[in-house]
DNA sequence: ATATCTGCAAAGACTTTGCATGAGA
DNA sequence: TCTCATGCAAAGTCTTTGCAGATAT
């Protein structure tokens, strides 16, 4: 990989040209901008978060297109959709082969704060992989992604309860 | 435990009298019926599912009360709220000390089918417990519940893709 | 008695749909 | 050129809120 330069940069359609065209989709400006925003954020964003950021780069875009594009990307497996139970979905670019960027969540049921948690042990990573394989065999289910979330009280809310 | 008879049955307020009163809440008919429905279902129900079932037992109840009661029970830690990403929440009675009734989910991203999965290995159960303890220490977070969900394609949708 | 709980109706939040216009290949 | 994609506005869903009357303790 060439330093300071991403794959596909400078080529028609940019970095995700192949993925989109490969699935028969057109490489449009809104789609590229949305992917760029997701890539730069590197963390869960709501549809509105994305809309606001995209709007700064490409003001003509509508919220509808954000939703439609996200749905598309989720179907393609490029983006993962999360639900923290607060009524609004969050979206995050899947890290493809970069397994290390993967993370899970601690969600405070009192204040709604979400803490990312990515320091897995080797043991955990292995177990998840093994479990996925077993599930695939047993239920004939093709696992494409997973979510692990712990619910409870964060530091602050814990303190307030006393 | 007396066979064929549940704790609290026949006593004022029924089985959950203690939990409710202990938190300072009143033991009302809607609350008892909602808890009964959740207990009998033994699986994830949407607010509307619950409303319909409750309605058959106690027709005067409103959907609002179902929502309000569920929120209360979630706050109390008696009920767990799930989000499968289809825009409607599911609720399920927490199994308290009965760790075996606990289960996880396989969610088909194509048709939305949800498969329960409860055949954990000893290894898995132990690891989750260990992880919860570590998180509690590291982030000062009191874990009360957790969710593990695998997303992908179910048997049927897999076959259709060919 | 009285603070809590409930039901109804209305509002609210997020997301999806219909349709004419505009843009990619 | 000829689909596919977009934006706007309107509709749709699920969920929450306001308030007067009903209920538990």
Residue A147 confidence (pLDDT) above 70: yes
Q: Which of B50, B66, B96 is the last residue of a domain?
A: B96
Q: Which of B96, B111, B143 is the last residue of a domain?
A: B96
**Is the CB of residue B96 inside 7 Å of nucleic acid strand D?**
no
**Is the CB of residue A68 inside 7 Å of nucleic acid strand D?**
yes
Count: domains in chain B: 2
Report pLDDT digits (tens) over A114-129.
Answer: 998 887 778 888 888 9
A72 and A144, same domain (yes or no):
no
**pLDDT of res. A29:** 96
Report pLDDT digits (tens) over A85-96.
Answer: 899 999 999 876
| Mean pLDDT on A64-80 | 95
State the first-to-last Cα distance of chain B, in angstroms, to the nearest integer. 54
Residue A139 confidence (pLDDT) above 90: yes
Domain CATH for A37: 1.10.10.10
Q: Which of A96, A113, A131 is the last residue of a domain?
A: A96
**pLDDT of res. B95:** 72
A122 and A155, same domain (yes or no):
yes
Q: Which of A59, A91, A76 is nearest to A23 (CA)?
A: A76
**Tens-digit pLDDT profile for chain B (162 aa)?**
434 444 444 444 478 999 999 999 999 999 999 999 999 997 899 999 999 999 999 999 999 999 999 999 999 999 999 999 899 999 999 876 555 467 889 999 888 889 988 877 788 888 889 999 999 999 999 998 899 999 999 998 888 765
Domain CATH for B131: 3.30.1490.190
Q: In what order do the strands lie in the sheet with B114-117?
A: A114-117, A104-108, A142-153, B142-153, B104-108, B114-117
B109 and B86, same domain (yes or no):
no
A58 and A90, same domain (yes or no):
yes
**pLDDT of res. A112:** 85
With vertex at residue A137, the alpha carbon angle to CA A133 and CA A141, rounded to the nearest 5 degrees, is 85
A156 and A79, same domain (yes or no):
no
B141 vs A contacts (CB less than 8 Å):
106, 108, 115, 150, 152-155, 158
- Protein-proximal positions, strand D, CB < 7 A: 4-10, 13-18, 23-25
CA distance A118 to B28: 44
**Is the CB of residue A68 inside 7 Å of nucleic acid strand C?**
yes
CB within 8 Å of B16: residues ≥ 6 apart: B8, B27, B31, B32, B35, B78
A112 and A82, same domain (yes or no):
no
Residues 78-137 of A with CB under 7 A from strand C: 87-89
A86 and A119, same domain (yes or no):
no
A85 and A128, same domain (yes or no):
no
Mean pLDDT taken over chain A: 86
Residue B153's domain comprises 102-162
B86 and B38, same domain (yes or no):
yes
A66 and A146, same domain (yes or no):
no
B11 and B83, same domain (yes or no):
yes
B73 and B138, same domain (yes or no):
no
CA distance B112 to B85: 9
């Amino acid at each position: 990989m060439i330093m300071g330069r991403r794959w596909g940069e400078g080529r028609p359609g940019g970095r995700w040209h192949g993925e989109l065209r490969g699935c028969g989709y057109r490489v449009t400006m809104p789609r590229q901008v949305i992917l760029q925003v997701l890539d730069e954020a590197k963390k869960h964003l709501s549809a509105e978060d994305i809309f606001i950021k995209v709007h700064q780069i490409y003001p003509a875009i509508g919220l509808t297109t954000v939703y439609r594009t996200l749905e598309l990307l989720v179907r393609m497996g490029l983006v993962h959709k999360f639900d923290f139970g607060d009524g609004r979905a969050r979206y995050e670019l899947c890290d493809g082969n970069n397994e290390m960027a993967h993370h899970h969540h601690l969600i405070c049921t009192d204040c709604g704060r979400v803490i990312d948690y990515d320091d897995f042990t080797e043991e955990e990573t292995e177990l998840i992989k093994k479990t996925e394989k077993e599930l695939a065999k047993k239920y004939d289910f093709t696992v494409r992604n997973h979510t692990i979330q712990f619910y409870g009280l964060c530091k602050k809310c814990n303190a307030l309860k006393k």
